[in-house]
Each structure stands twice: as C-alpha cells, then as structure tokens.
Structure 1
Amino acid sequence: MPIAAALMSFFCFLQRAVLMLLCLSAGAVAAQTLPVATPVPAPNLPWLEQLLHESAVLGRHHVGVCLTDATTGQQLFGQHEDRYFTPASTMKLFSLYAGLRMLPDSLPALRYVLRPDTLLFWGTGDPTLLHGDVPSRRALAFLQSRPEKLVYAEVPTGTAFGPGWSWDDYNYYFQPERGAFPVYGHTVRFYAKAGQPLPRVYPRFFRPLTEAAPAGTPNLADDHVRRAQLENRFTVFPSTKNWVDETPFRTSPALLLQLLQDTLRRPVVQAPFRLRPQDAVYTLRGLPVDSLYRRMIRVSDNFLAEQLLLLCASTLSPDSLSAARVIKAMQANYLRSLPDRAIWVDGSGLSRLNLTTPRTLTALLVRLHQEVEEPRLLSLLATGGGQGTLRRRYRPVAGNPWLWGKTGTLTNNHNLVGYIRTKSGRLLAFSFFNNNIPGDDAPVRNEMERILTQVRERL
C-alpha cells in the first residue's frame, strides 16, 4: 500500500505539472497575439483642443495638428497627429533634408572628362543654368571658354513628369519637366504689353514658335498662353492688360543641343555616356546650395525641388539620376527614427500619392532644428508678413517675425508646417493639416491664423 500511494501521489503531481505547462504555453501564445497599443500622449492644452473642436470652419474636413517643443522634442499637443494626410508642398522639407544630407556647400553645376581634343560633359540636375529666378552662368562661361570639342552625354533621369502628376497641368508654370541638364528652368517667359499683338519671348529661340490666337478662338481655360500638348507651339490670347507668364516647354536631347548651340554660339554634339577606366571625372562647382534651398522653400518652387532630388542622385551614381533611389536611400539611412514612415514619391509634393502624418513632419522639423543653425534654418523658410508664401499673413509683432514655415496647397487641401516663436520666447515646431476642404480654402487659412496666433500668445 505505501508503494501504491506513492505512485498515485507521483501521477497527481505529474498531472498538475502538465496542466501548469499547458496554461503557461497558452498564456504565452495569447500574449504574442494580443495587439500592442501605441501610447498616445494625452493633450495637455485643453484650450487648444476646444478651439479646434468648436471651429465651424474646421469641422467640415479632415484636420490634423501636432505641436512640439523644437528644443526638447516634447510633444505638447496632438489631434489626429498619427493619421496620414496628403502633404502637398510640405514634402519639400523632405527634399531640403535630402540636400542638407547629401550635397556639399555648392551645387555641382556639371561633370566632365578631358580627352586629347574633346571635353565630354554631362548634367547633374543643376537647375540654375540661365534660370529666370536663380540664374547661374558658370557652366555657360566654362563651356564657352574651353578650346576642346564639346560633346554632351545624356544621363537618364526616368520620366519627365513625376509619379501621380496631373497630365493636364503640362501647360502651367508650376509643372515643368524634369531633366539632367536643364536650361532656362525648362520654361518660356512671355512679357506682354497691352495693345501689342505678341509678347516679348525669352529665350528668343521660341519666338518663331509663338503666334497670336486667330480671331474667335475660345480661351476655355482663361490662359494667357497655351502650348500644344505634345510639341513646342505656343498660342497667345489677346489681353487689354500688361502681363508676364511662364509656360513649360517640351524637352528632348535634340532641343537641348539646339539651345546650347544657340546660346554658346559654337557646335555641341551628343554621344552615349561611356566612361573609360583611365578617365578622371571633374566637377564644376556652381551656386551656393542655400540660394537654391531658399528659393525652393520660400516660394514653393516645384521645379527646383524636383531637380534637387536629381542633384542628390548625382552623388550616388555618375550614369543615372534617379529620384526614387534618393528617396530609398534617405528612408533607409536618415528617416528610420521618424514616428511614421512617409509615403514619399517626388521632390515637390505635386503628387497626391505622397502621404505623411503631422507628427512625422513635426519630428522632421525638430531634427532640422537640431542639425542646422537656427538663423540659417529660419532664413530658408517663408516668413510671416515678410516674404514667400506667407508674406500676407502672420505679420510681425512690434517688428519681430514670429512664424516661419512651409505651406502645402493642392485643390481641396491646405497645410502649414513650421516654427512659432511664442510670446514667452519659446520656439515650437508645428504641423497643421487640412485635407478634403469642400470649396474655397480662404476661410480655413483665416481660421488657422486665428488659432496659431493664440498658440503664440498663450505659450
């Protein structure tokens, strides 16, 4: 009997042990399958939450707000800050960050190889050659001065338009084609005076391709100039006022050679891009990088932003300029610690395929503030009441500017991100996103200004 009792006790113990192991295993599996909640900081600015909640203007569309201390990185307020929005031109801040990370202090204007009687040159994406707003003649002067035969090598850049761009915006100044060796900003400028049948055309190369609209031609889009969709023929509509306009021209290697020869007044031929093992590659330096950054951000220049990514691509590979490759490199090497992965497809924000969250853009602003000296950083942005896209809003107080930022506008969307210097002297980074606005966005802009002014006053 003692042996039987001992066996019975052992089997009971073994049964309990097996049951305990099964329970522990089930608990472990359950723990693995339970979703892990992401901690969301509770808003500690109830007055700001109330302003947003009670706004009749903001109540009809999607709104996301994130407010962070620019020095410490502490989030002070969030409303839908983790949701994805169409960022529009606020994506240019990602392009700016790419330039700051990947480019030297001056732009690479072009690259070249010297052979016995030939100078082989190719583009880096530098958009400043004879550009109407950020002009540089350094590459032009260099090519004019060389005694060698000039041979241009075309570097592939992918499609002329970015992913998700609107095809029917080809006629408008804000959507020029991208390219490896742009000249004149890839646009034609027209300077019209009332009563004159045709405007002055720059560059003059396009003057023979410009004609007045025949009498009775309907101007359905109310444009000054319309370009034929697939060719460089420009039709000018009559006007009783003076005006200046820009229209993109359709690019091609053949047209580039014509424009270069017309400007340089010497022959330029084209050859395939092939480097020999013994070739020494030289870089001609151009304008300081901030001259491009400042114009790109302040007035939201789409062409400069797109070309900036191609400039960055030129540092990764000599024989192709891929914006997608730059974006991939930035995501892998410099942006991994941002709160949410941005869906980033172009340099300018023209594409509606771009998506990001307010807290990610605010985190990028904090990082920019950490890595760039504050006076330089703020000088690159549009200034409230000063210049750029914010010159008519957020006016200085007692002569002191208090808001610096980057706007982002597409039809039915208006966003603003940047920095606020509060009344107490604190610098805040903020993102204020408005998507799916039904109708005119002017009331939304007014409401944003009212609310951000309160942020300045109260913090």
Structure 2
Amino acid sequence: MRFRLICFVFLISLSTKAQEFSERKIKRMLKKIPAFQQAHVALSVEPLNSLKPKAFYQGENYMTPASNIKLLTFLAAIQNFDSLPALYFNKQDSIMHFKATGYPLLLHPFYPDPKLDFFFNQKYNWCYHPPKSTLNRLGEGWSWDDYHYYYSAENSPFPIYGNTTRVTLVSCKPQLIPKAFEKNMVLDTLSKKLYRKRSQNLYHLNPRILNKKDTLYIPFITSDSLFISLLGDHINRSVEQSKALETPPNWNILFSNQEAMLYQAMLQDSDNGVAESLLTMISQNNFEEMNIEKIIDSLKLKWSKWLPDPIQWVDGSGISRYNMMTPRTLIAVLKKIHSEVGFENIKNFFPKSGSSGTLKNYPVKEVYAKTGTLRHNHNLSGYWISKKGNIYVFSIMANHFTTPISEIRHGITELLTQFQKRLK
C-alpha cells in the first residue's frame, strides 16, 4: 500500500513539473483579472524545444484568430520564396510585356519599391497581360461596411498605390493621390470627413472637418482597366492590355529585394493588403493562377501531418470572421516558423514588446509576437526569452468580450508576467 502511495505521489510530481500551471490554477488567475470575467479565453505555453505545455487552458478550443492568421501567411511565404517575384516581363522590340505576380508595392504609400519605379520609368511601349485570376475584391467573411477603411483595401492581381487613395489638404485645397481621382471629388459640408460611394469611385469630402495635418487613406474600386490607366498616368506613357488570343511571351522574372520590409509590414504593422497579396503571390507561384481557396486547401493538406487540429482558413490577413484556430495549432505554427527562419530572423520580422509595431503598448519584457484584433476579439501569439535565455512559445486568445481592448491587453500582460516569473 505504501509503495502504491509513493508511486502515486511520484507521478503527480512529474505531472506538476511538466505543466507548471494547472488548469485549475490558470482558472483562478483568470478570475482575478476583471477584463476576462465575461470573455472566452484559451491559451497554451510551451518551451520551444519541448512538446509538453507548461500552461494549457482550453487550448484545444477553436477561437477567432483575427490577424494571427498572418502567421500562416508568413509561414507559407517563407516556405515558397527565397526572393519575392515582383512581376513577369519580356521585351520584344520596342514593347515591354509584363504580367502581375500579386506583388503589392507598386507606388505603395507606406512601402515604396524603388526597383519597380525604375523598371516602369524605362522608355518602352507597355503591354499588360492580366493573369488568370478568381480573386474576389473583398474576401469571404469580411465586414461589408468596412470597404472605405484602409485596412479593408480590395484584392487585385496588380495592386497600385496600395489600392487606396490618399487625401491631404494643401493650401486649403484637397489633394488626392492618385491625382486622377480629383475629378471624382465632391465637396460636401454635410458629409463625414471622407466618404466613398460603395459602388463607384466617387468621393465626398467635408473640407470643414479636414485639417492640414490630416492624411487620410480610403480604398478605391479596382479593375484591370483602372490599373492600366493609373499606371499610364504615372509613367506618362500609354499602357495597352494584351488581346485575349495573343500568344503570351516566355516570361522573365523581376525579383524584389524588399522581402524584409514586406514581412515587417505584415507582422509589425499588421498590414492586411500586404498579407492578402502575399497569399495571392503564393497561389500564382504554385498554380499559375490567383486562387485563394485553392492555395489554402493545398497548404492545409501539406501541413496536415504536423498540425494538431484542422484549420478553418479563408483569407491571408485575418479580416474574415470565418477563420477559426486553436491555441495549440498556433503554437505548432510558431515552432515551424522558428525551424524555417531561426530566432534572429524572428526578432527582425516580428514586433517587440514595448518597442515596435503593434506591441508598443505591451510593457512585458523580451516578447516577440503577433497581435490579432477584431471587434470583441484580441489575441497574442509568439515567443518570449526568459531570464535564463530559454525561449517559450505562447498563444493567448480572448474572444467575445465587451470590455475595452486596453483592458484585455492589460489582462494578457498580467498573465504573461506571471508566466515569465515562474518559467525560467
């Protein structure tokens, strides 16, 4: 009898050592954080080089990941590309033929690519070949009334200006970039600050509300014909579209040298347009067509051997509320990212707590992680370095709350602080 008791105590001690924070203890911790009282919370914490969680609470439950979906897009990108293809091209006599890869940085307002600028400043006649594409301008499960916000810019085969219009006040007059949209501007003292009609690129601006320090960005409705027109205006040359029966040339590839900037834009700034474009590029690279559903199905099948749970995944950015993932799946994704690029690249690409990107408002130390936020949902998934130099991987997901995001952020900070104190 005594031997059995000793064995039982020994097994309990091993279990406790494996998981430093029991589910009961985590539940008590959550009860002490007011912001989590009416929220759905799930989390998992593991050492980088171990499969045994140190903290696990409802980590098998499906949650809305929001921009944590960008971790999947990032993993797919680093597995598919050493260098990012900016466009396909072929020069024939005086004509430069070109085709889209999905690359998003042509004349981008925040992430310019000088290599593309130089390419299009060459003195050729230009011929655009639209790629095979089934892209929807707005993704599945996107909020229909977000169409006039920068974070919901439309998808297109060849984004230009980030598929957004920039509006500023210069000498008391509104100035638009692209300039072509200035003729579509209506000054309206009864409207919001800036508004675009849902079905057309017609803008209403209230000049009484706009001040000279404002810089506003609003998406425009995309099309191949508009892309050709805007590019032609910029380079001051005619751009033609290839005829449907025209034999496509043998393509050369113009590679970008802006990989770091693009990945930082997606992970640090959480730029949705960049994320959607990267997934489009991966589809084009694999299938010679832009088909989001097809590339997601392919990636899920490829990754199914190591993912602990199936993923509900429909877009590249996480705007969609149709996406669903578990914390333990995000842990597996983060570990796979580490195995692909190493921790030095993670520190370069990911935001750092208290320092950069979307983690500036997190006061915890030595955390490199991706936030994910939609209304009533906030998540944080990434890595931290302990005082002893050990790396831990974590995912904390809070869904369906009504308290302010700042309070949820404070609650996640409290949890991380307690985990960091205990896990050396």
Q: Same fold (TM over 0.5)?
A: yes
Matches within 5 A, 1:44-59: 44-46=20-22, 47-59=25-37
Q: Deviations over 1:393-440 (max 9, x none)?
A: 2254xxxxx111111111111111111112332211100001100242
The one-letter code matched in structure 2 to 1:443 is E
Q: Secondary structure of the equivalent of 2:155?
A: coil
Q: Which residue of 2 aligns with 1:312?
A: 282
Q: Which residue of 2 aligns with 1:458?
A: 422
Size of the aligned set, in residue pairs, is 402
Matches within 5 A, 1:187-226: 187-192=164-169, 197-213=172-188, 215=189, 217-219=190-192, 224-226=193-195
Shift of 1:454: 1.6
Q: Which residue of 1 aligns with 2:156?
A: 179
Q: Which residue of 2 aligns with 1:324?
A: 293
Matches within 5 A, 1:21-32: none
Q: Secondary structure of the equivalent of 2:252?
A: strand
Matches within 5 A, 1:50-449: 50-105=28-83, 107-147=84-124, 149-155=125-131, 156-192=133-169, 197-213=172-188, 215=189, 217-219=190-192, 224-237=193-206, 238-239=208-209, 241=211, 242-272=213-243, 276=247, 279-318=249-288, 320-394=289-363, 396=365, 402-449=366-413
The one-letter code matched in structure 1 to 2:231 is L
Q: Deviations over 1:82-114 (max 9, x none)?
A: 010010000000000010011222x21110234
Separation (CA, whole Å) in 1 of partners of 2:327 and 2:128: 44
Separation (CA, whole Å) in 1 of partners of 2:210 and 2:119: 43
Q: Secondary structure of the equivalent of 1:152?
A: strand
Counterpart contact for 1:362–1:431, Cα < 8 Å:
yes
Shift of 1:181: 1.0
Q: Secondary structure of the equivalent of 1:231?
A: coil
Separation (CA, whole Å) in 1 of partners of 2:163 and 2:26: 45
Counterpart contact for 2:44–2:331, Cα < 8 Å:
yes
Separation (CA, whole Å) in 2 of partners of 1:66 and 1:188: 41
Stretches of structure 1 that go unaligned for 5 or more consecutive residues are 1-40, 397-401
Which of structures 1 and 2 has the bigger CA Rg?
1
Q: Secondary structure of the equivalent of 2:394?
A: strand
Shift of 1:159: 0.9
Separation (CA, whole Å) in 1 of partners of 2:55 and 2:354: 26
Shift of 1:275: 7.2
Q: C-alpha root-mean-square deviation of aligned residues, in Å?
A: 2.1
Stretches of structure 2 that go unaligned for 5 or more consecutive residues are 1-16
Counterpart contact for 1:157–1:179, Cα < 8 Å:
no
Separation (CA, whole Å) in 1 of partners of 2:403 and 2:259: 38
Q: Which residue of 2 aligns with 1:38?
A: none
Q: Secondary structure of the equivalent of 2:43?
A: strand
Structure 2 length normalisation: TM-score? Answer: 0.89
Counterpart contact for 2:70–2:267, Cα < 8 Å:
yes
Question: Is the deviation greater in 435-444 or in 236-245?
Answer: 236-245
Change (3 A) 1:166 1:206: same
Q: Where has structure 1 moved over 6 Å in runs of 4 or more?
A: none
Q: Which residue of 2 aligns with 1:18?
A: none
Question: Is the deviation greater in 286-295 or in 203-212?
Answer: 203-212
The one-letter code matched in structure 1 to 2:371 is T
Q: Secondary structure of the equivalent of 2:330?
A: helix
Identity %: 30
The one-letter code matched in structure 1 to 2:278 is L
Change (3 A) 1:423 1:275: farther
Shift of 1:167: 1.3
Separation (CA, whole Å) in 2 of partners of 1:179 and 1:126: 10
Separation (CA, whole Å) in 1 of partners of 2:381 and 2:327: 9
Separation (CA, whole Å) in 1 of partners of 2:62 and 2:99: 39
The one-letter code matched in structure 2 to 1:173 is Y
Shift of 1:285: 1.3
Shift of 1:146: 4.9
Separation (CA, whole Å) in 1 of partners of 2:191 and 2:100: 40
Question: Is the deviation greater in 203-212 or in 137-146?
Answer: 137-146
Separation (CA, whole Å) in 2 of partners of 1:382 and 1:326: 27
Shift of 1:272: 4.0
Shift of 1:262: 0.5
